[in-house]
Amino acid sequence: MKNIKTLGIATVMALALIAFAGAASASANYFQGSATPEAVNGSLTGKAHNLLLNGESFTCSGVAFSGGEILGKTGNQVTVTPELTSCSHNNEATSWVTNGCKFRFNPGNGSLVGWIDIVGCETPMSNNSFGCLTKIGNQNGVGTVTYQNGLSGGVAIVTAVANLNSITFTRSGGPCLGGPLGTFNNGTYTGEWIMKGSTKGVPANLEVVSTTPPANTNFVAEEAPVTISGVGTGTNTRMKPMAGNMLACESYSLSGTSASASAESISLVPSYKGCKVGGETVPDNFVSAGGCSYVFHVNGKFDIAGATCASNPITLTRAGCIVTIGPQSGLPGVGFWNQGSGKLRTVSVIGTAENVVATAVGPSCPSPGVHADGKILSSAKLTATNASGALQGFSVE
């Protein structure tokens, strides 16, 4: 999985497109398959899994997961849907309701030790035993997972050994045998899974590799032409300091099309709403993309371009001060990260675009003239639709 880099302009908030792609390309561990896309499933190694919550032990022998996917033959995360069945608690049969919760396996850095996040819970997973209601919800970094590469029938597999020791949980009702009611963060979980890859039902190699993964080369959709849309995911879209002015907007969006299903770059037009320039609230049309688009390259470089961008640049307008941002290329500072699976695949963008050149003119400008120290901070999620408007998978590979 990888990131997408983007540079916005004053309006640059489009920077939102700057995503985790870059982070994934840094030197770190990653999951590697032998096909793309590759499904990832997991099963019990033969050892029961044990969850210990304030002295109360839940032991499950029906432990598995499914639904994981790796795109582009490598991935820096695998998100799966777990099963916790055939469980016992104090020698009584019990069960856990997962409520959409998923396990997100992270391969870590350096040694083959990563961690697990719990994500996607519609409501917390729960267990009701002897009238004691236990709930475990979304949380990150709940403990370590040690990965061991191996072979099964000549196909590469991975054993994942979980040693989780900081699970947050709540208990209510009663009686709860292991102590008081309330919220705690000392839950532990131990167990092992065998992780296997497959493509269209045929076994495929899966391993955890501790080297720098190959670089992504293209943005990839399922079919062409493709319409790409971006929605800001941060609480604020910012740019600073743009010729002495700070730009902060409540929301922004990005839109564009590509004639090709696979391309090294994508061109998107930004739109901003609810903005302040230099602390002054301005109408939406006072922050304009003009004739400019943001061009995101899969290698993390960002351009501001357009046939009329030079004559109709990005503008940020406040009382007595106008900031313009014209064509520029090769700007650094953004990345992309694949998320989801199938037709729900999306690309997240996060980062800080740097060295944005802007010109400020007007008596109220705190620093008139040309400046090359602009920075754009933001995040966004990119999705794709086909010519019929149907959602399709979108990724960097």
Nearest to 302 by CA among 8, 24, 25, 23: 8
The Cα-based distances of 334 to 7, 357, 372 in angstroms read: 7, 16, 17
pLDDT tens track for 300-315: 888 999 999 999 999 9
pLDDT over threshold 50, residue 27: no
Distance CA 44, CA 382 (A): 36
The Cα-based distances of 234 to 269, 322, 344 in angstroms read: 18, 26, 20
Partnered with residue 93 across adjacent β-strands are 88
The full 3-state SS of 179-244, as one line of letters, equals CCCEEEEEEEEEEEEEEEEEECCEEECEEEECCCCCCCCCEEECCCCEEEEEEECCCCEEEEEECC
- Strand ranges across the sheet with 262-263: 262-263, 219-221, 394-396
Between 64-73, 177-186, 235-244, 325-334, the lowest mean confidence (pLDDT) is in 235-244
Q: What percent of the chain has pLDDT over 70?
A: 89
User: Can you give the pLDDT at residue 351?
Assistant: 65
User: Can you give the pLDDT at residue 248?
Assistant: 85
Query: Taking the model in full, what pTM does it have?
Result: 0.55
- The tokens for 297 are 């390259």
Q: What band does 108 get if pLDDT is binned at 50, 70 and 90?
A: confident
Of residues 321 and 338, more confidently modeled: 321
Mean pLDDT value of segment 163-192: 85
pLDDT tens track for 276-287: 998 899 999 999
Q: Who contacts 171 (Cβ-Cβ below 8 Å, separation ≥6)?
A: 53, 54, 132, 133, 134, 135, 181, 182, 184
Of residues 193 and 143, more confidently modeled: 193
Strands 237-242 and 334-339: unpaired
pLDDT over threshold 50, residue 31: yes
pLDDT over threshold 70, residue 15: no
pLDDT tens track for 142-165: 888 999 999 999 999 999 999 888
The angle subtended at Cα 42 by Cα 208 and Cα 27, nearest 5°, is 20
pLDDT tens track for 237-270: 777 778 888 888 888 899 999 999 999 999 999 9
**Taking the domains of the chain in order of start, what are their residue ranges?**
11-25+218-396, 30-209
To the nearest 10°, report the CA torsion of 345, 296, 285, 380.
Answer: 30
Q: What band does 3 get if pLDDT is binned at 50, 70 and 90?
A: very low
Neighbours of 268 (CB within 10 A): 24
pLDDT over threshold 80, residue 72: no
DSSP letters, 276-339, are EETTEEE-GGGEE-TT-EEEEETTS-EEEE-TTTTTS-EEEEETTEEEEE--EEEE--EEEEEE
Q: Are 98 and 46 in contact (CB under 8 A)?
A: no
Of residues 23 and 44, more confidently modeled: 44
User: Can you give the pLDDT at residue 385?
Assistant: 94
The secondary structure element, H or E, covering residue 114 is strand 113-119
User: Which SS3 state, helix, strand or coil, does residue 15 take?
Assistant: helix
Q: What band does 14 get if pLDDT is binned at 50, 70 and 90?
A: very low
Q: Who contacts 121 (Cβ-Cβ below 8 Å, separation ≥6)?
A: 99, 100, 101, 102, 137, 138
Distance CA 52, CA 179 (A): 12
Amino acid at 126: S
pLDDT tens track for 346-375: 888 766 678 899 999 999 999 999 999 887
User: Which SS3 state, helix, strand or coil, does residue 132 take?
Assistant: strand
User: Can you give the pLDDT at residue 255?
Assistant: 95
Nearest to 147 by CA among 197, 203, 108: 108
Q: What band does 102 get if pLDDT is binned at 50, 70 and 90?
A: very high
Residue with tokens 């792609």: 21
Residue with tokens 């697990």: 116
User: Can you give the pLDDT at residue 5?
Assistant: 30
Largest CA distance in the chain: 79
Average pLDDT, the chain: 84
Q: What band does 173 get if pLDDT is binned at 50, 70 and 90?
A: confident
Q: What band does 212 get if pLDDT is binned at 50, 70 and 90?
A: low
Strands 74-75 and 30-33: antiparallel
